[in-house]
A and B are shown apart, each in its own frame.
Chain A
Amino acid sequence: MAQSTQEILEGLAEIVNEETGIDTGSVELDKSFTDDLDIDSLSMMTIVVNAEEKFNVRIPDDEVKNLKTVRDAVDFIAAAQG
Chain B
Amino acid sequence: MTVEALRPKGSGSIHPGTGASHARIWGLGGFRPERVVPNSELVEAIDSSDEWIQERSGIKSRRWAGPNDTVVSMSEAAARDAIAAAGIEISQIEAIIVSTVTHPYQTPAAAPIIADRLGLRCAAFDISAACAGYCHGISLANDMVRGGSAKFVLVIGVEKLTDFTDLTDRGTAFIFADGAGAAVVGPSDFPGIGPTIWGSDGSQWETIRQTESWLDVRDQGLGHPTIGMAGQSVFRWAVWSMAPVARQAIEAAGITPDDLDAFIPHQANMRIIDAMLKQLKLPADIPVARDIAETANTSAASIPLATERMLREGEIPHGGLALQIGFGAGLVYAAQVIVLP
CB nearest neighbor in B for A49: B240
CA distance A64 to B240 in the complex (A): 16
CA distance A48 to B237 in the complex (A): 13
CA distance A64 to B231 in the complex (A): 12
A45 touches B56 (CB 8 A): no
CA distance A78 to B283 in the complex (A): 38
0/1 per residue, A22-61, Cβ < 8 Å to B? 0000000000000000001110111011000000000001
B281 smallest CB distance to A (angstroms): 16
B209 at the interface (CB under 8 A from A): no
CB nearest neighbor in A for B271: A42
CA distance A46 to B271 in the complex (A): 11
Please count how many residues in chain B sit with their CB below 8 Å of the partner chain's CB atoms: 13
Point out the residues of chain A lying under 8 angstroms from B231, CB to CB.
Answer: 41-42
B236 at the interface (CB under 8 A from A): yes
Point out the residues of chain A lying under 8 angstroms from B55, CB to CB.
Answer: 40
- With A42-B271, A46-B275 as known contacts, state yes or no: A61 contacts B56, CB within 8 Å: no
Q: At the interface, is chain A mostly helix, strand, loop or mixed? A: helix
Please give the residue numbers on chain A whose beta carbons come within 8 Å of chain B beta carbons, in ascending order: 40-42, 44-46, 48-49, 61, 64
CB nearest neighbor in B for A61: B233
Residue in B55, B230, B232, B271 whose Cβ sees the most chain A Cβ within 10 Å:
B232
- With A40-B56, A42-B56, A49-B240 as known contacts, state yes or no: A64 contacts B232, CB within 8 Å: yes
B58 smallest CB distance to A (angstroms): 11
A34 smallest CB distance to B (angstroms): 13
Give 9 nearest A-B pairs by CB, closest first.
A61-B233, A45-B232, A42-B271, A45-B235, A42-B235, A41-B232, A45-B236, A49-B240, A40-B56
B293 smallest CB distance to A (angstroms): 17
Q: List 17 A-B contacts (CB under 8 A).
A: A40-B55, A41-B56, A41-B232, A41-B235, A42-B56, A42-B269, A42-B271, A44-B232, A45-B235, A46-B275, A48-B236, A49-B240, A61-B230, A61-B232, A61-B233, A61-B236, A64-B232
